[in-house]
Chains A and B, each alone.
Chain A
Amino acid sequence: MTFWLLLTVNSVTFGGLLFLLSAGFSLIFGLMRIPNLTHGSMFMVGAYLGSTFLGGALGFTLDFWAAAIISALEVAVLGALMERLLLRRLAGQQLAQVLVTLGVSFMVADLCLMGWGGDPISVSTPAGLGGFVRVGLAVFPLYRMAVIGIAVVFAIALWLMLERTRLGAMIRAGVDDPQMARVVGIRVSRLFTIVFGLGAGLAGFAGMIGAPILSVYPGLDQDMLPLALVVVILGGTGSLLGSFLGSIVVGFIYNFGQALLPELAYFVLFLPMVLVLVLRPQGLFGGRLL
């Protein structure tokens, strides 16, 4: 019984973290058709920057949440710069984009190694969320519960942004038909920068939120990127609901798959991905932005 409860709780919390990671990836792909392979790097850079602020860089120490927000903003700026300076020149050339983003991800990984060294950094859970609550046999780690809350808040905020704001309307128009959007006077190129920055910032934020669970170490980027890809392929690209449900589904597959079929640990995640690609290439919930 404990076994099932622990796994269920963990599936949902892991799904929450995956949503924070993959929402940005999905938005970027949906609007710009760029398979952004630096997404894992953004996650890792966010975690490194956040843990540095937490440890007192530049003479002042931030608390966990402030560190997460500031590192997210910094990563967003990095992302916007990258879109403006590199990817804009490669508009429409997917192979070139894949290669450039892959190359940048290697460079970022080595720059992080130079800057922060190879030692893993352990980030402690924010004050007040360190323990867990026991209900009967079940254990609910407080921080992981908070991650679910954060994911839900972000999901709602993103949904409101896309559904209820002018910016959201422009993004949706850009996703549906970029040429027509240009014709009616929407500056799609500026939208691209904003969305890329937003996506990168979300990944950076997720990195810091994930840090107390995953810790920060060289190679974190390459560990997380495939998970984002699986979520987006399962959920469908460019779909917020798809990312959310995809994340939860992947959370469950990951947890129960590894626990119940440990012999199949390597492809328990990738088999569903292959099946979806073959049978329903637009993803389980693909085709719609919301």
Chain B
Amino acid sequence: MSRRVSRRTLLTGTAAGAAVALTRFPAPAVAQAVPFKLGLLTVKTGPLAAGGILMEQGVLTYLKEKNYTLGGRKVDFISADTGGNPAGAKTKAQELVERDGVDVILGPLAAFELYAISEYVIEKKMPTLSLAAADNLTQRTPNPYLLRASATSSQATQPLGHYAATELKLKRVVTISEDFAFGHEQMGGFQASFQKDGGCVVNKLWPPLVTPDYTPYIAQIVACDAVCQGFAGSNPLRFMKQYATAGLKYPVIAGEAGADDFLLKSFGEEALGLVSAAPYTLDLESDANHRFVDGMLKNYDAIPGQYAALLYCNCQVLDAGLQTVGGDARDREKLMAALKLVTLTDTPRGPIKFDHLNNVIGTIYIRRVVKEGAKYGLKLWNKTIHTYENVSQFWTWPEKEFLAHPVYSRDYPPLTKC
């Protein structure tokens, strides 16, 4: 019985898909007996849980807004908690694919989790719309089943380097970030573009991910005119506070996670003046962003940052891609091809499209933490002071030249006398 139904739906689906391809009209809601299965790899326990819970809320906010339909199909949403480690990510990915039979995976959160499942999603041909920023998976070792609507680690810090050198007129900067791939790639991108525009990174500090007290590192910040921090999770909060307590006065600039909007309610006065670059900003005035923020406030009473926003964008991309193929997710190649071609003008982060390596091209916002204009009962506010449009993962370098370099790391670009 179910077999016959699915054969009929296949026909309907294919017909609808063909119709769409021919007429380029949005597909009508194709009644399919089997719901579309959407899996999310997120983190709901342990230290990374804050971001992981926001990811799930971002997905659910979109699903609620669309009455749990994507591309005209009813959605079955399955959320899996990886525990925030590579082994857990692998196990849960297998569970989603083999036990639950999902059609698409959203997530995971962290770069090392994505590296852990990268081979597996190729083997299973499983379309994966990730948040994780591991640069190389859309650069030198691209994964054809991965689509990244968030950003590479260095996608926001490269414009930050340009802004720091040309607008903030900084000359000598000390960088400090966690000693793991996300930190290395962020700071590498900053250094490369900052030095290209005449700045100089005079020292790079790498505290371990778990560092209760940053003061020993802060003590090494000397002879510079600003500090660039690339901390993630709750670490920016502690760093900014301990930095102020140590009596340092150099201005601070930050990567996307270093001043995430979800931290605004926790930051104190010490964060005033912090300049950051991010692919999403809470203060963007656009319809999609208003819908998204209102939904988050209504559903969860949560002020979102990029974790929720970028997952909401992922859902929009998926919705549009499914629309193109008439809701039929069985041909994975076709679905991936449709997803890659998605261009959206109204998302919480502004217009987006994808490059040929499946990475997003979008706006990067430079923001400054101020008191004026704060909304949603916040005391502090990330006010956008500059925007860079259509930023690709290669920044202003030609793709070939960019890919000829090694991936950004702890030692690349090297520290040079300048």
Contact = CB atoms under 8 A, between A and B. Distances in A.
Contacts of A266: 208
B215 A255 contact: yes
Chain A interface bracket (under 10, 10 to 19, 20 to 34, 35 or more)? 35 or more
Contacts of A124: 268
Contacts of B242: 213
B40 to A, nearest CB: 16
A265 B207 contact: yes
A19 interface: no
B50 to A, nearest CB: 3
A222 B47 CA distance: 9
Given A109-B46, A118-B50, A10 B241 contact: no
Contacts of A110: 45
Interface secondary structure of B, over-half rule: loop
B54, B238, B247: most-surrounded residue (chain A CB, <10 A) = B247
A14 B265 CA distance: 27
A152 to B, nearest CB: 19
A216 to B, nearest CB: 9
B38 to A, nearest CB: 22
B213 A259 contact: no
A177 interface: no
A215 interface: yes
A120 B212 contact: no
Given A10-B215, A217-B47, A118 B53 contact: yes
B237 interface: yes
A109 to B, nearest CB: 7
Nearest to A138: B247
B266 A119 contact: yes
Contacts of A222: 47, 210
A23 B36 CA distance: 56
Interface string B200-211: 000001111011
B217 A259 contact: yes
Interface string A112-145: 0100011111101000000010100001010110
Interface string A57-89: 000000000000000000000000000000000
B267 interface: yes
A192 interface: no
A262 B206 contact: yes
A122 B219 contact: no
A227 B210 CA distance: 12
B245 A141 contact: yes
A118, A143, A219, A265: most-surrounded residue (chain B CB, <10 A) = A118
A6 B246 CA distance: 8
B234 A217 contact: yes
A113 B222 CA distance: 38
Contacts of A2: 219
Nearest to A14: B213
B50 A117 contact: yes
A214 B208 contact: no
A262 B237 contact: no
A15 to B, nearest CB: 11
Interface string B258-271: 00001101111000
Given A132-B247, A134-B247, A266-B208, A122 B267 contact: yes
Contacts of A219: 46-47, 210, 234
B179 A254 contact: no
A119 B217 contact: no
A141 B215 CA distance: 12
Contacts of A213: 213, 241-242, 245
A224 interface: yes
B283 to A, nearest CB: 19
Interface in B228-275: 233-234, 237-238, 241-242, 245-247, 262-263, 265-268
Nearest to B219: A6
Nearest to A132: B247
Interface in A206-226: 212-215, 217-219, 222-224
15 contacts: A2-B219, A7-B215, A7-B219, A14-B213, A14-B215, A113-B44, A113-B45, A120-B237, A120-B263, A122-B237, A122-B266, A122-B267, A213-B241, A258-B217, A259-B217
Given A118-B49, A215-B241, A219-B46, 12 more contacts: A122-B266, A132-B245, A141-B246, A214-B213, A217-B47, A218-B46, A219-B210, A227-B212, A254-B216, A255-B215, A265-B207, A266-B208
Interface of A: 2-3, 6-7, 10, 14, 109-110, 113, 117-122, 124, 132, 134, 139, 141, 143-144, 212-215, 217-219, 222-224, 227, 254-259, 262, 265-266
Identify the 10 closest CB pairs spanning chains A and B, nearest first.
A219-B47, A118-B50, A120-B234, A139-B247, A217-B234, A258-B216, A259-B216, A118-B49, A10-B215, A122-B266
